[in-house]
Structure 1
Amino acid sequence: MLRNSRLNSALEKIADDTDQITDDMQRMLAVDTCFPPGNGYGQFADLITQLLTQMNFSCQRVSVPEHLWQAPDGSAQGERVNVLATLNSGAAENCNLYFHTDTVPAGDGWRFPPLALTVAEGKLYGRGAADMKGTIVAAMAAVRAAQACNLPLRFNPVFLLCTDEEGGLYPGIRYLAEQQLFSGHLLSFNGGAVPRIWAGCFGSIDLKVVITGRSAHSGDPLLGVNAIEAALPLMNALYQLKGEVEQRTSAMPSPPHYQGQPLTSLLTLAAAHGGSKGSTIPERFELLINRRYAPEEAFDDVWQELTQCIDQAMDGSRALDVSLQLIGHLAPVADPYGPHWPRWQAALSQGFGFPREAFKPWGSSTSSDMGWVQQAGIQEILLGGLARPDNRIHAADEFTTMADVIALSQSILAYLADDFQPTQGI
C-alpha cells in the first residue's frame, strides 16, 4: 500500500528512465566477465565504481586471495575483484543487495552479438541481460528514482557485486561474508520474476577426474595404456551410483513445474575429454562429474561416497595415475525465510502485480552461493530477479524485457522506501 505521492512519483520516474536503463545495460554487457576464466572482473569493477560513485555511493574494492580461488586445472584466471558499495541514506538498518558480476561464457548459436545490448523483438538481448547484470541496472534505477524524488529510505542500500558465482571454487560473496565485511539481512537477485517464497536450494560439487595412461601408436599398442578405455569401469560405476543417488528425495518443496514430484539428489557426467586422432592411443582422459546434494545431505558424506566409488572402480586398473580435482563447490541453502520476507513479498506485488495468494514456497535443485552466506551466520535471504523459464539464461540469445527490468526496479524501490507500507497480513 502506498502512503504518499512522493513514492508514487518515484515509482513513475522509473518507468520514464528507459534511456538511462538502456545505456547502463549496454555498458555492463560490453565487459566480458565470463567464468571461466573470470579475468574481466577488474574492468567491471572500474565501470561499476564509476557509475555508483556518481550516485554518491562509497565504493570499496575487495579481492579474494588467489590461494582460495585458484582451481587445480587452471580454469580460473585474473584478479577476483569484488565491489562493496554503500549509500548512507541515514537509515538505521542496512539492506545488502547481492549481485554476481560473472556470466557463463557466450557459447555458440547467437543471432545477436553476445557482448552487446541488442534491442529487438520487444526484448533486451545479451549475455548477462537476465543473469544478472540486468538486475544491477534495475537496482541502480530504483536508487536513482529515490534520489530524484528526495524519497526517505528505510534501509541503507549496500550493493555487493561479487565474483565467481557460476560454479567457482571460492565465490566472492563467501569471502565477504566470512570476513564479516557486511551486516544485516540480504536480498539476492539470483532468482526469478515469479511470486516465489524461497525455500532454499541444493549444493553443487564439480569434481574432475584425470586418468593418465601411456601414449602409443594405435597400430602398435603393446606398450600403450589407453586412458579412455581405462576409464570405462569408472563411468559404469558412476552411472550405477547415479541411479542410487537419484532415488533420494528432499523434503524441500519442489517447483510448480514438477507437478508434485519431489526434488531428488542428482549426479551428472557433465563432460569428457580425451584423445586426439585415430592413430594414437590416448594418454589422458578427463571426466567432469557434477553432484547436486540436498540440504539433508552432508558434504563429507557426499564426498566420501564419490571418492569411494572412484577408488573402487579404478582398483586394479592399468592406468598409471588417477587424480581428483575439486574445481567448484556451492553449499546448499536451507530455510532462508525470515522477518523481512512479508515486506519483500508486498514489494514484489507492487512492482510485478503479483496477487497475494500467488506466493508459494518452493526450492530448487539448482545451486547458489548463498549457502556460504548462511554458513557465515546470515540465515535470512530474500530472493528476486529477472529469470523466467523462457529467457534462455545460460543459452544463446539470453534476454530480458524492459517491462521486467522496470517491474523489478519498482519492487526494489518499494522495499527500500520508508513510505512503503505492506498490506496488513500479507
Structure 2
Amino acid sequence: MSKTVIQIDEHALLHTLEELVALDSSFPPGASYPEMATMLERTTAHLGGTCTRIDIPEALWRAQGVHGARTNLIVRPDLAPQGAPEVTIYFHVDTAPVGDGWTRPALELTREGNRVYARGAADMKGAIAAAIAGLAALRDAGHQFEYQPVLAFCTDEEGGIYPGIRYLAEQDLVSDVIINLNGSATPRIWAGSFGSLDLTLMFEGKAAHSGRPHLGVNAIEQALPVLDALTSLKVEVEKRVSSMPPPPGSGGPLHALLNITAIRGGEKGSALPGQCEIVVNRRYAPEEDVARVRAEIHECVEASVKKTNLIGWRMSETGHLPPVENSQGMMTPRWTAAMAAGHNVPLEEFVAYGSSTSSDFGWIQHGGRGSREIMLGGLSRPDRNVHGADEFTTMEDLLGLARSIALFFDAHFHTTTKPKIPTQSNQGESKP
C-alpha cells in the first residue's frame, strides 16, 4: 500500500465543486459546454500540462431541443515522468435538468453537516472536483506518478445521439486504460450495463376548434390505442432476462425494460391538438439485437395506428447508448484495491455486477477499437437523488474518491491481493 497518508485539500475540493455547479450545464440543451471548458482550463491550470478542445461536428449531434457547440476538453497535466503509460480519467460535464421539488438552491453548493447538495454533486461534477483534488494531493506529497493521467471532460452523456466520449474514441483520443468516474461509490467491479434507446413518436392529427371537433382529428385521443399497445408490449419485454450478474440484494436477474417517459401535445382548452409526441425509452440487454429492438417497437406502433384516424406518424431515434459488456482487465485489481483503501472498505466486499442503467461507454466497445479496459468508480448511491430534487453526495465519498485517484496513480502504491472477479452466470431461464 502507499507508504504515507495522502492529505486531500478539502477546502480546494469544495471550492472547485462550488464553481462547477454554479454553471448550468444541463442537457437538454447542453448550451454551455464552451463556458465549461474555459472554467476547467482555469481549474486545472495549477496541474500544468496542455489543454485541447475538440468540437464535435454539428452534423453528427444536431437534434431537436439541442443547441450550442459540443466542446469536449482533454487535459494532460504535467505530472508523470516522460514515457509513463497513459490512463484516461473520464467525466461528463452535463447534468440532468434541475427539475422541480428542490428545497435548496439547485445551482448553489449547500453543505449541511456531512452532506453536500447541488445539481451535479453526485452526477458527476463532484467526481471532477474529487479527481482534481486527488491528483493535486499526490503531486503535493512529492510522490512519483506511476501513470500519466489524461482528463477527458465530455459532452452529452445525459442524452443526445452523439456523446463526446464516442467521438473521442473514434478519433483515437482515448487511452487503452480508462477510469470512468460516472459510477457508484458502493463496492463494485463493473460487469457491464444495458443499452438505452430513446425513440420519439410523432403522431399527426388535424387541429381544430374544440367546439367543432368534427372538423379535426385529436392527435392525443387518437394516440391512446398506441399507448395501450406499448403498455402490452412492455409486459412482454420485461419478461426477458439477461445473464449479466445483478446487483447484490436485487432479488432476481436483470431484465429488459420499456417505459413511456414523455407525452407532449396541445396548447389550450379551445383547440384540438394537431400533434402528439410520445417518447419511449427501451433498456436492452447485451444479448438483444438493437435492430430487432427498434423493429419490434415500430411494428407495435404501426399495427396500432391502423386502428385510429391519425393522418400519419413517424418514429425517430433521439438517443442511443449501446450496452457495455464485461471490460475487466489487468488493471482492475489495482483500481479496486485503490478504491478499497481510499474509501476504507474491505477488499473482499467488492463484487462484480451489471446494471440495467446505461453508459455512453457502450460506444467505446461498439465503435473503433473494442479492447480498451474500462474501470468504474464515482459518487452515486441509491439514496443520492441523482436526477431528482435535492441531489447530494457526502464529504466521506468526495474525500474517499479523491484518495482512490491519488493511490491508483501513486508509484508507491502496491497491491498484494487481487479481488475475486466472478464470471458471469445465467441468472434466469429465458433470455432476450
1:46 alignment partner AA: T
Aligned partner of 1:304 among 271, 275, 295 = 295
Aligned partner of 1:265 among 256, 272, 282 = 256
Matches within 5 A, 1:82-231: 82-88=72-78, 89-90=80-81, 91-231=83-223
Match of 2:375 in 1: 382
CA-to-aligned-CA distance 1:96-124 (integer Å, 9 cap, x gap): 00000000011111121111111123211
Given that 1:263 and 1:364 are in contact with CA atoms closer than 8 Å, whether structure 2 keeps it comes out as yes
Change (3 A) 1:311 1:135: same
Distance in 1 of aligned mates of 2:333 and 2:226? 49
C-alpha displacement at 1:183, in angstroms? 2.3
Aligned partner of residue 258 in structure 2, secondary structure = strand
Distance in 2 of aligned mates of 1:379 and 1:298? 22
Match of 2:361 in 1: 370
Q: TM-score, normalised by structure 1?
A: 0.95
Given that 2:225 and 2:307 are in contact with CA atoms closer than 8 Å, whether structure 1 keeps it comes out as no
Distance in 1 of aligned mates of 2:176 and 2:271? 59
Aligned partner of residue 264 in structure 1, secondary structure = coil
Match of 2:344 in 1: 353
C-alpha displacement at 1:63, in angstroms? 0.6
C-alpha displacement at 1:316, in angstroms? 5.7
Aligned sequence identity (%): 45
Distance in 2 of aligned mates of 1:122 and 1:415? 25
Match of 1:321 in 2: 312
C-alpha displacement at 1:324, in angstroms? 1.4
Given that 2:176 and 2:372 are in contact with CA atoms closer than 8 Å, whether structure 1 keeps it comes out as no
Match of 1:397 in 2: 390
CA-to-aligned-CA distance 1:205-255 (integer Å, 9 cap, x gap): 111111111112222222211111221221111111111100100000111
Aligned partner of residue 201 in structure 1, secondary structure = coil
Aligned partner of 1:79 among 59, 66, 69 = 69
Aligned partner of residue 162 in structure 2, secondary structure = coil
1:313 alignment partner AA: S
Aligned partner of residue 198 in structure 2, secondary structure = strand
CA-to-aligned-CA distance 1:30-85 (integer Å, 9 cap, x gap): 111000000011111000011112210311000111111111xx211111110011
Match of 1:284 in 2: 275
Change (3 A) 1:188 1:425: closer
Given that 1:207 and 1:328 are in contact with CA atoms closer than 8 Å, whether structure 2 keeps it comes out as yes
Q: Which moved more, 1:41-50 or 1:303-312?
A: 303-312
Aligned partner of residue 210 in structure 1, secondary structure = strand
Distance in 2 of aligned mates of 1:96 and 1:425? 22
Given that 2:176 and 2:373 are in contact with CA atoms closer than 8 Å, whether structure 1 keeps it comes out as no
C-alpha displacement at 1:95, in angstroms? 0.6
Match of 2:430 in 1: none
Match of 2:240 in 1: 248
Distance in 1 of aligned mates of 2:152 and 2:228? 43
Distance in 2 of aligned mates of 1:121 and 1:168? 36
Unaligned residue ranges in structure 1 (runs of 5+)? none
Q: Which moved more, 1:312-321 or 1:153-162?
A: 312-321
Given that 1:200 and 1:334 are in contact with CA atoms closer than 8 Å, whether structure 2 keeps it comes out as yes
Change (3 A) 1:199 1:425: closer
Given that 1:93 and 1:184 are in contact with CA atoms closer than 8 Å, whether structure 2 keeps it comes out as no
CA-to-aligned-CA distance 1:310-353 (integer Å, 9 cap, x gap): 11211363212202121111111011111111001100111111
2:393 alignment partner AA: T
Change (3 A) 1:148 1:121: closer
C-alpha displacement at 1:178, in angstroms? 0.6
Match of 2:412 in 1: 419
Aligned partner of residue 349 in structure 1, secondary structure = helix
2:199 alignment partner AA: L
Distance in 1 of aligned mates of 2:157 and 2:29? 12
List 4+ stretches of structure 1 deviating above 4 A.
Answer: none
Given that 2:226 and 2:304 are in contact with CA atoms closer than 8 Å, whether structure 1 keeps it comes out as yes
Given that 1:129 and 1:399 are in contact with CA atoms closer than 8 Å, whether structure 2 keeps it comes out as yes
Unaligned residue ranges in structure 2 (runs of 5+)? 420-432
Aligned partner of residue 366 in structure 1, secondary structure = coil
